Structure 1
Amino acid sequence: MTKEAILDAAEAVLSEQGTQALTLNAVADRAGVSKGGLLYHFPTKDALVREMVARVIREFDDLIASYVASYGGDAPGAYTRAYVEATFEILTGEARAYRRWSAITAAAADPEQAEPLNEAMRRWHGRDPAEDPDPGLAAVVRLAAEGLWEVVSHDPALYDADQLEALRRRLLDLLES
Structure 2
Amino acid sequence: MKREALLDAAESVLFEHGTQALTLAAVADRAGVSKGGLLYHFPTKEALVKAMVARVIEEFDGLIASYDDGTPGSYTRAYVEATFEILGGEARAYRRWSAITAAAADPEQAEPLNEAMRRWHGRDPGDDPDPGAAQVVRLAAEGLWEVVSHAPELYDGEQLAALKRRLLALLP
TM range (shorter): over 0.9
Identity %: 76
1:112, distance to aligned residue in structure 2 (A)? 0.4
Q: How does 1:29-44 map to 2 (within 5 A)?
A: 29-44=29-44
What CA distance in whole angstroms lies between the structure 1 residues aligned with 2:33 and 2:160?
38
Q: Which runs of 4+ in 1 moved over 2 A?
A: none
Match of 2:134 in 1: 138
Q: For 2:63, give the aligned amino acid.
A: L
Q: How does 1:37-56 map to 2 (within 5 A)?
A: 37-56=37-56
Q: 2:95 aligns with which of 91, 95, 100?
A: 100
Match of 1:113 in 2: 109
Q: For 1:34, give the aligned amino acid.
A: S
Unpaired runs of 5+ in structure 1?
A: none
Do residues 89 (structure 1) and 85 (structure 2) align? yes
Match of 1:159 in 2: 155
What CA distance in whole angstroms lies between the structure 1 residues aligned with 2:100 and 2:40?
25
What CA distance in whole angstroms lies between the structure 1 residues aligned with 2:157 and 2:36?
42
Corresponding residue SS for 1:97: helix
CA RMSD of aligned residues (A): 0.8
Corresponding residue SS for 1:33: coil
Unpaired runs of 5+ in structure 2?
A: none
Q: 2:118 aligns with which of 122, 126, 132?
A: 122
Match of 1:8 in 2: 8
1:98, distance to aligned residue in structure 2 (A)? 1.7
CA-to-partner distance for each residue in 1:38-76, whole Å, 9 max, x for gaps?
Answer: 0010000000000000000000000000000xxxx2211
1:99, distance to aligned residue in structure 2 (A)? 0.8
1:129, distance to aligned residue in structure 2 (A)? 1.3
TM-score when normalising by structure 2: 0.97
What CA distance in whole angstroms lies between the structure 2 residues aligned with 1:129 and 1:32?
47
Match of 2:20 in 1: 20
Corresponding residue SS for 1:82: helix
CA-to-partner distance for each residue in 1:72-122, whole Å, 9 max, x for gaps?
Answer: x221100000000000000012x4412111111010011100000001001
Q: For 1:45, give the aligned amino acid.
A: K
Corresponding residue SS for 2:167: helix
TM-score when normalising by structure 1: 0.95
What CA distance in whole angstroms lies between the structure 2 residues aligned with 1:92 and 1:54?
21
